[in-house]
Amino acid sequence: MGFGPSIQCHYKYMKLEKNDLMEKIISLAKRRGFIFPGSEIYGGLANSWDYGPLGVELKNNIKKLWWKMFVQQRDDIVGLDSDIIMNPKVWEASGHVGNFTDPLVECKKCHGRFREDQIGGTCPNCSGKAFTETKQFNMMFRTHLGPVEEDDNVVYLRPETAQGMFVDFAQVLESSRKKIPFGIAQIGKVFRNEITPGNFVFRTREFEQMEIEYFIHPSDWEKYFDHWLEQQKAWLAAVGIDQARIKFVEIPDTDRAHYSKRSIDTEFVYPFGQKELYGLAYRTDFDLSSHEKKSGKNLKYKDPVTGESYLPHVIEPTWGLTRTVLAVLLSAYSESEARSGKEDAVHETEVTLRLPKELAPIKIAILPLSRKDELIGPAQEIYHNLQKNWMCQYDETASIGKRYRRQDEIGTPYCVTVDFETANDKSVTVRDRDTMKQDRVKIVELVEYFREKLEPPRT
């Protein structure tokens, strides 16, 4: 059973300097293939980020968990996947053409353009203090439908997924036979021509949202507002976001979006400051009534029991998906002093991503102790078998210690080691990322073993 130099982690976490942590996350994300700078061979494109092999797994796992919690496991929510480019009247009715703006100023000295409310009166480029008059800059990306670039063909890339759910409200209601209260959920790309994007994937011009529009009787809004705040808290726990860095902030009248009567933001203390992670808004009947007026279509709901006919009101919990990736990585990152091999060996810093198992990009790594044929054969067979159920990685290069560290760094919860005893006892050693405990498990029982570990029934 014994193999190679063992790694003993002293779970003594080092204190990470704030900006250090951001740099470490960005470097790890690039090195291990979570997130790369986009179009890099052409010098990149400002604030464009591509999700690599591990990043796309992490992002997909977040989406899957969200869908499971809020669509699959609930009777009152159905999904939707609406188009990114919609009839431009949608954005006139929603108020985005008129109101989706940020205050833009230009520095008179260096001509840099900035969001007025983010610079505190001083140019971040040249420290200049003189600016042009504030202009309202609309953040929607415009393009043209078809081959002729004229005003009649102007369309927008959606700046939120929400409007698809309002515009399709009547069709979803009719086809799904849901009754109020019920919700529509959607995950997808959105686009905003942000004046000052930055801080890695925190603020980008292309990003993804996971949103729910929950349709209710107007008299119930407080009850469902509270319900969705609780659901957002449950989500934070499920994805392992550090509760100590979370603040719930009531947004005052003056700062609320044009459609909201009450908003609570979930803020996260990032290394660059406390900023928004998620939002929760009481959108009233603002959207449905605007679309009813603009389209001339009746969007009222008739209660089958009371006969009352009314425009439903809406509670909207919204989650930035790409911002979730950042908060999850920041929360999961940990360093510990480790000692490989002999007592007097050099203490090295080891990185572990303590991701919830459901989010880990790779669930199991299969590591033959040596590259001898007698180990490689069974190790590959185990790999191909487990791969049918879970994302696995097979790795036979470098020392076993190094291979464990590679897996810890990307958050793989389990490593399976095939050793010289395997041929005799038809068993392997399974090492747990968090407890470092090692179990000897029969090869024929491995699938069942991992099913219990990785897919415990949700309550």
Tell me whether residue 88 or residue 279 sits nearer to ligand GAP (CB atom).
279
Stretch that binds ligand GAP, among 277-285, 295-303, 331-339, 429-437 (CB under 6 A): 277-285
* d(C-alpha 78, C-alpha 182), whole Å: 8
Q: Which of 96, 158, 323, 403 binds ligand GAP (CB under 6 A)?
A: 323
* d(C-alpha 417, C-alpha 3), whole Å: 9
What dihedral angle (degrees, nearest 10) is formed by the CA atoms of 49, 50, 52, 54?
A: 60
Binding of ligand GAP by 279 (CB under 6 A): yes
Q: Which of 66, 114, 166, 207 binds ligand GAP (CB under 6 A)?
A: 207
* d(C-alpha 417, C-alpha 365), whole Å: 8
Nearest-approach distance from CB 208 to ligand GAP, in angstroms: 8
296: left (phi over 0), alpha (psi -120 to 50) or beta: left
Tell me whether residue 57 or residue 211 sits nearer to ligand GAP (CB atom).
211
Which residues, 346 to 375, sit near ligand GAP by CB under 6 A?
none
Nearest-approach distance from CB 446 to ligand GAP, in angstroms: 39
Tell me whether residue 192 or residue 291 sits nearer to ligand GAP (CB atom).
192
Q: Which of 209, 284, 412, 427 binds ligand GAP (CB under 6 A)?
A: 209
Tell which residue, 16, 2, 69, has the closest CA to residue 351.
Answer: 16
Which residues, 140 to 169, sit near ligand GAP by CB under 6 A?
160, 162
* Residue 241, both tokens: 């976001």
Stretch that binds ligand GAP, among 59-67, 218-226, 274-282, 408-416 (CB under 6 A): 274-282
Q: Which of 164, 188, 320, 413 binds ligand GAP (CB under 6 A)?
A: 320
Q: What single-letter amino acid sits at 317? A: P
Q: Which of 24, 59, 192, 291 binds ligand GAP (CB under 6 A)?
A: 192
Q: At what angle do helices 321-332 and 53-67 cross, to 10 degrees?
A: 110
* Residue 210, both tokens: 């996971």
Q: What single-letter amino acid sits at 456? A: P
* d(C-alpha 364, C-alpha 447), whole Å: 11
Nearest-approach distance from CB 281 to ligand GAP, in angstroms: 7
Tell me whether residue 198 or residue 456 sits nearer to ligand GAP (CB atom).
198
> What number of chain residues touch ligand GAP (CB under 6 A)?
18
Tell which residue, 55, 83, 49, 91, has the closest CA to residue 290.
Answer: 91
Nearest-approach distance from CB 164 to ligand GAP, in angstroms: 11
Looking at residue 411, the DSSP 8-state letter turns out to be T
- Give the residue at shortest CB distance from ligand GAP: 320
Tell which residue, 391, 387, 396, has the closest CA to residue 368.
Answer: 396
For residue 175, the SS3 value is helix
Tell me whether residue 17 or residue 92 sits nearer to ligand GAP (CB atom).
92
Binding of ligand GAP by 322 (CB under 6 A): yes
For residue 125, the SS3 value is coil
Give how far Cα 247 sits from Cα of 149, 210, 222, 270, 322, Å.
Answer: 46, 20, 20, 12, 19
E strand or H helix at 55, and its extent? helix 53-67
Tell me whether residue 161 or residue 340 sits nearer to ligand GAP (CB atom).
161
Binding of ligand GAP by 188 (CB under 6 A): no
Nearest-approach distance from CB 203 to ligand GAP, in angstroms: 4
Q: Which of 211, 350, 358, 419 binds ligand GAP (CB under 6 A)?
A: 211
Interface residue list for ligand GAP (CB under 6 A): 160, 162, 192, 194, 203-204, 207, 209, 211, 276-279, 316, 318, 320, 322-323
